[in-house]
Chain A
Amino acid sequence: MSELRNILEESVARVFAEQVTNEFLSSVEETGWPQELWDTISELGIPQVLVDETRGGMSGTWADAYVVVRRCGYCCLPLPVPEAILAGWLAERASIGLPAGAAGILPHAVPASNISGDTLTAQISRVPWGRDADYFIGITTAQELVLVARDGVDITGEENLGQDPRDTVTFNQTPVVQRAPINLPADSIRWLCALLRSAQIAGASSRCLEIGVQYVGEREQFGRTLSRFQAIQHQLAVMAGSLATVEAMAASAFRTMDIHGIATDGRDAKFEIAAAKCRASDAVEPITRIGHQVHGAIGFTYEYGLHFLTRRLWAWRAEFGGSGEWAEYLGHIATQQGGDDIWGYITN
C-alpha cells in the first residue's frame, strides 16, 4: 500500500470516527448540512485527492480514492465527499477550475438540447445534496463538462432511505458559468457514481460486520455469549465472505480506473465497474439480513444506530443502477462474446 494511502486512511478514519457519531448522524437528520465537518474535511484537502498537486490537490490515484470513499461509507458520512472527489477529477479532465464550496453532481448525461446559448433549462432528479450545492456540474450528451450556477434554481427536497438529500433540481435558463469539452462518455458520471457507491457499500458492510462481531461477543443468552453459538459464528462467517467479494471487486475496479480509465471505446474499466456495482448490490441482501439477525430486536431500534448503515446500504444498492441493470450489462457482454471468449475478455 502506498504511503499516501496509509496517511489518508489514517487521517480520514480519525476525523470521521471523532466526529461522525450516532448522535451526530441523528442531529444531521434533523438539522441538515453539517457545515463545520464539511469545512474540516475541505481543509484537509480530502475532496482534492484526485487533483494534481500543482493545483492544490494530492495527486492521488483511484486506488487512493478507494480508501477514502470506502471510509465515507464505513462512517455513513452525511456529506457528498465521494461526489466532491469525482467533481475534482472531472474538472481536471476538462481543465476547468472549480469554485469554492460543494459541487452538486448531475447524475445523468444532460441532453445537449437543454443548453441554449450559455444557459441550462432542465429538471434533474436525485441530485445528491442538491439543496446544499454551491454550483452544479454535469456532462452533456455533446461531451461537454458544464458548470452551472446555483442562483435561481428551484429545488424540491427529497431524501433517500438513508435520509441523505437526493433533490430534484429545476434549472430555468440558469447560467452555465463554465464549459469545456471532456473526452469521456456522456454517461460517465453515472458509471463513476456507481463505482463510488460500490466502495461506500464495501465500507458500510464492513462496519456492519464489525458491529455484529462486537455485539455477539457481549450479548449473553442461555448463560453464554452469542459468539459461542456455532449458528451465530457461521452466519457471521458467511457475512464475512460476502463482504470479501464486495471489497475485492470494488478495490479492483478502482485500480482498473487507474490503469484503463473510462472511454468511449476500447478496453476500459467499465466491465470491472459494472461487476463491482452488481456484486456490491447483490451482497447488500445477505449483509443487512445477517447484520440485523445477529442483533435481535435491539438492532431494529432507532437508538442503537445499526440502521444508519443498513438504510444507506438499501439506498446505495439501487442508486446509479441496481444489481439488475449492471448484471444485464455483464450478461450482454457474456452473450456477445460467447462461452469461449468471455474467459479471454475477463482475463484481458
Chain B
Amino acid sequence: MTAQTDALRFEPYELPQTLASLRAEVRTFLRAECTSFSAVHRSNSWDAYDAAFSRKLGERGWLGMTLPKAYGGHERGPLERYVVVEEVLAAGAPSGFHWIADRQSGPLLARYGTEEQKRTILPKITAGEACFCIGMSEPNSGSDLASLRTRAERSDDGWVVNGQKIWTSHAHQANYMIALVRTSPATDNRHEGLSQFLIELPTSGITCRPIKDLTGRAQFNEVFFEDAVIPHDALIGTEGAGWKQVVEELAFERSGPERYLSCYVLLSSLIDVIKDDASPASLRKIGSQIALLVALRNMSLSVAGMLNDGKDPGLQASVVKDVGCSFEQGLPELAQEIVDLEPTLAGHGIDYQQVLGNLVQLAPSFSLRGGTPEILRGIIARGLGLR
C-alpha cells in the first residue's frame, strides 16, 4: 500500500460493550420524550431549537460529556458521547439549541479557552444552557474562508470588531458566538493573522438579521458588527493562530453520526410505509442504502477511534463527510423511487409525506454546511498526493 492510500485507511473500531447500558438508558429516555414531537419536527433533529429539551439532556449528564469535571463536565470518553449523539439523532430529538456548543465550541474552549472562559462557560454548556453559533462565513468568504474581512482591533476598552458574518445558524437565538476574524492585515500567507473570539450575544454594536430560507423558516442570519467592543479576554487561544484552531474544530464537525443520521427519520418512516407489502425491487433499494449507512457508521466510528487515540484523522473525516453527504442527499430521491407519494408541507398527508416534503427541501443545504463536496474532494485529492 502506498503512503497515499494508507492515509485513507479506516481501521475498524468497535464501541466497547460497556456502552450498551448507556445506549439503552438514552434510548429509553428518548422514547418517552419524543412521543410528543411530530415526525416532521423530528426530521429537523439537529436543527430544531428546543432549549427545554437541551436542559433535560444536560440534567442527565449527556452534554459536554468529555469536558473536565472541574468545569462541570463529566470526563467521559468521546465514544460515550458518540453513543449519546447517535441515539439523539436516530430519535430525531431536537438538538439545535445545544448542538454547536456540545459538538465543537465546548471542546474548543476546553482546549484553547482561558481559565476564566472555561470556568464561566463550560458549566453552562454541560447544563444545556448555552446556545452557540459559529461566526465563520462572510458575504465574500464562503468556501474560501481565509479571505474573510471582519476585523478586530485592539483598543484600550477591548477589541473593536467591524464587519459582517452570514449564514450563521441560530445567531438570533444564541447566547454566544465563536467568531473567526482578522487581527492583523493579510499577508502572503492568508492563514496568518486570524484569531478566534468568544462573543456574548447580544452585545451592543452587533445586529442579527434572520434570513428566510426556501422552506420559509428563518434559522440562519446575517450578523453585522459596527464598532462592537468586546473584552480583551474574549480572545480564544493565541492571537493569530485562529486558522489552526478552526481546522482542528472542523475535524470534530466532519465525521460524527450526523453524517449518516440527519435523514434517519425519513429512512425509518419509509421502511414503515412499505414494510407490509414491499416488492423485491424496493427491498433491494432499501437494503443497499442500509449497507451504505452501516459502512458510513463504521467509517465514522473509525474516525472517533482515531480521535480517541490522539491521532489526526483530518483526511478520513473529510471522506466521511463527502460520502455521508451523498448518502443523505440521495435518501429523499430513493424514497420517491420506492413510494410514489407527493411530498407535502407540514400538517398535510401522512407522516412519511411530511417528512419527505421537509427533507426534499432541506437536502440541498446538506452539501453546503461545514464544507462543500468541492472543498472536501480537494482535501481528499491532496491526501492522495494529487495536489
Contacts and interface: CB of A to CB of B under 8 A. Distances in A.
User: At the interface, is chain B mostly helix, strand, loop or mixed?
Assistant: helix
B381 A234 contact: yes
Contact of A338 (B2, B9, B271, B299): B271
Contacts of A333: 287, 290
Contacts of A206: 1, 5
B381 A244 contact: no
Contacts of A346: 290, 293-294, 297
Interface stretch (B52-60, B225-233, B275-283): B275-283
Contacts of B283: 327-328, 331-332, 334-335
Interface stretch (A176-184, A187-195, A271-279, A310-318): A271-279
A244 B271 contact: no
Given A216-B386, A237-B377, A248 B298 contact: yes
B11 to A, nearest CB: 7
Contacts of A243: 5, 8
A10 to B, nearest CB: 11
Contact of B290 (A227, A232, A252, A331): A331
Interface stretch (B121-129, B188-196, B262-270): B262-270
A333 B286 CA distance: 10
B380 A237 contact: yes
Contact of B323 (A213, A227, A241): A241
A339 B268 contact: yes
Contacts, number: 186
B342 to A, nearest CB: 20
A63 interface: yes
B26 to A, nearest CB: 11
A249 interface: yes
B8 A240 contact: yes
B295 interface: yes
A200 B259 CA distance: 27
B21 to A, nearest CB: 13
Contacts of B23: 347
B377 A248 contact: no
A183 B210 CA distance: 64
Nearest to B320: A244
B1 A251 contact: no
B175 to A, nearest CB: 32
Contacts of A13: 1
Interface string A230-274: 101110111011111111110110010001000000000000101
Interface in A300-342: 323-324, 326-336, 338-340, 342
Interface in B342-379: 374, 376-378
A339 B384 CA distance: 38
A343 B287 CA distance: 13
B272 A339 contact: yes
A259 B12 CA distance: 13
B290 A338 contact: no
A77 B294 CA distance: 29
A255 B11 CA distance: 11
Contact of A339 (B267, B302, B322): B267
A242 B291 CA distance: 12
21 contacts: A1-B11, A217-B385, A236-B386, A240-B319, A244-B319, A245-B292, A247-B9, A248-B296, A252-B12, A275-B291, A278-B288, A282-B291, A327-B284, A327-B286, A331-B285, A331-B286, A334-B290, A335-B274, A335-B278, A338-B271, A347-B86
10 smallest CB-CB distances across A and B, nearest first, come from A331-B283, A339-B268, A327-B287, A330-B287, A331-B287, A233-B381, A237-B377, A237-B380, A249-B295, A335-B275
Interface of B: 1-2, 4-5, 8-12, 14, 23, 27, 86, 90, 264, 267-272, 274-276, 278, 280, 282-288, 290-299, 302, 316, 319, 322-323, 326, 374, 376-378, 380-381, 383-387
